[in-house]
Amino acid sequence: MSPALVLSILLALEFPQPQQSWRTGALAIDAETGEVILDTRSDQAFRPASTVKLVTSLLAMRTLGPDYVFRTPVLVDTSSACICLAGSGAPLLELDDIERSAMETALSIDPSVPWRLIYDTGCFEDDSHCLGWDEDDWGRAYCPPVEALSFGGNLLEIVVSTVGGPLRVSGWPDLPGAELRPAAGIGADDLTVSVSGWDESPDRVTVQGSLPARSVRTLWTPFPDPSLEFALLFADALGEYGIRVASISEGQAPGGPGIRSISVISSRPLWQITAEMDKWSLNGVAELLLRASALQAFGPPASTAAGCEMAGAMISDLTPSPGDILLADGSGLSRLNRLTPRALAAVLLEGVGSFGYGPEYLASLAVNGQEGTLSTRLTDLPEGAFRGKTGSLNDTSSIAGIVSTASGRRIAVVLMAEVPQGSVYAARNWQDAVIREIYNSL
């Protein structure tokens, strides 16, 4: 009997076993030698949840490069007094980026004439939510819309206070195109937020329920039409520098010899974007990177479907038998996604082993007990003993990453579990126990 088989049997006997009602798959491979340490149903497909982001990160690294910077140009046609914001799908832009670019633009154009402002979102297809996203989730912070012009994660921060008197509600940023409506009172602690405007209804964010006296609560919610809000905020900032915007509309960037770029909003480099995305599991950022990869490969308009097709082809290239996989988005929020532990392990090993971006890919993974979605997990192990990506739905718990064992080995681990609702935390405990045993035993 081979040493690997002996060890697999030993570990299987010593590890806490998953509950019988769970459906689980596991794969552990030595990242240096390729030795299979543990293999349980690694060829069967499971809901991966947010571990899909490992696939999206790798696709973006391969397609765009770790140092890639998104550039959102501000184009001006002085002959028609037209300003155009040309959307690029840049993730993680902030209000400061918009205001800085507006200042640069305002000081480069004539303040004595009224200007038209166009925002061009043609680099992406129109759908702002992905296949398999439950419409009931659209108003939740983990489900922001995906659009070519985005800022602040397309999330509104709402602070509700009953300190010192009547209930007060404020939001950041102050969105020109959306109404923040307080409909809450002082009482029990049961605040909720509802959002309208995903269809033709007015863009409105309503705070409902109640908050106890002398309390402060912060809520986060997506808001509709982030591309329009981007343009409205840009126009307001232009006004601060004396530029009058006569109209704002969505349209195509003008062409012709008189067009020039007078400002560019630059993103952080890709390796920083993937690090924030993976550590904190930012769904909107993942969807932007998936579409950006398709945009780079196929040109506009980029779609989620095209990005998923690219990701599926990449996985098939990495492993000859990826199993019955299906990708419906780049974040893992869709319940239609299916990946095998074998496919996910192949992605992980390719990422951390790359000569071109291996260090950046590994650095994008959260560190046990220290940061992101691993900040409270595996705290008993030394810092850096595990770097990985977690994934959770209400009936799904997945984790994938690299264990740096006590003896110095590097083991790629993928653990996937589909469980009854209410059992996700128990599944996490089982996964942590497996990782802990690998660290101590190898």
Residue-wise pLDDT for 11-57, tens only, equals 454 666 788 899 999 999 999 999 999 999 999 999 999 999 999 99
Q: What is the pLDDT of residues 234-279, one digit of tens each?
A: 999 999 999 999 999 999 987 777 899 999 999 999 999 999 999 9
Q: Which of 257, 236, 266 is nearest to 248 (CA)?
A: 236
Owner of token pair 């019988």: 20
Mean pLDDT within 200-226: 90
- What's the confidence (pLDDT) of residue 323? 80
- What's the confidence (pLDDT) of residue 5? 47
Q: Could you state, in order of their start, the residue ranges of all structural domains in the chain?
A: 3-66+271-441, 70-126+226-268, 139-222
Q: The pTM is what?
A: 0.94
- 70-126+226-268 has which fold? D-tyrosyl-trna(Tyr) Deacylase; Chain: A; (3.50.80)
Mean pLDDT within 165-190: 91
Mean pLDDT within 152-181: 93
Beta bridge partners of 182: 207
Q: How far apart are CA 169 and CA 158, in angstroms?
A: 7
356: three-class secondary structure by DSSP:
coil
In the numeric block, which tokens belong to residue 111?
Answer: 């303040």
Higher-pLDDT residue of 15, 333: 333
Ordered strands of the 155-161 beta sheet:
168-172, 155-161, 216-222
CA distances from 237 to 96, 102, 104, 107, 332 (A): 10, 6, 11, 12, 36
Q: Is pLDDT at 287 greater than 50 in this prediction?
A: yes
- Which H/E stretch holds residue 37? strand 36-40
- What's the confidence (pLDDT) of residue 18? 86
- 3-66+271-441 has which fold? Beta-lactamase (3.40.710)
- What's the confidence (pLDDT) of residue 183? 87
Q: Which of 57, 50, 91, 105 is nearest to 226 (CA)?
A: 91
- What's the confidence (pLDDT) of residue 255? 77
Give the model's confidence band at 2: pLDDT under 50 very low, under 70 low, under 90 confident, else very high.
Answer: very low
Give the model's confidence band at 1: pLDDT under 50 very low, under 70 low, under 90 confident, else very high.
Answer: very low
* Angle formed at CA 340 by CA 335 and CA 342, multiple of 5 degrees: 155
**DSSP one-letter code for 45:** -
- What's the confidence (pLDDT) of residue 10? 43
- What's the confidence (pLDDT) of residue 202? 74
- What's the confidence (pLDDT) of residue 196? 85
- Which H/E stretch holds residue 248? strand 245-250
Contact 312, 13 (CB under 8 A): no
- Which H/E stretch holds residue 360? helix 358-363
Region of poorest pLDDT, from 18-27, 63-72, 95-104, 232-241? 18-27
Give the model's confidence band at 184: pLDDT under 50 very low, under 70 low, under 90 confident, else very high.
Answer: confident
8: three-class secondary structure by DSSP:
helix
- What's the confidence (pLDDT) of residue 16? 66
User: pLDDT averaged over the chain?
Assistant: 93
Crossing angle (nearest 10°) for helices 341-353 and 304-318: 80
Residue 202, preceding peptide bond in cis (omega within 30° of 0):
no
Mean pLDDT within 210-228: 94
Q: What is the pLDDT of residues 356-404, one digit of tens each?
A: 999 999 999 999 999 999 999 999 999 999 999 999 999 999 999 999 9
Higher-pLDDT residue of 323, 70: 70
Mean pLDDT within 276-283: 97
Region of poorest pLDDT, from 13-22, 143-152, 238-247, 419-428? 13-22
Q: How far apart are CA 400 and CA 413, in angstroms?
A: 6
- What's the confidence (pLDDT) of residue 267? 97
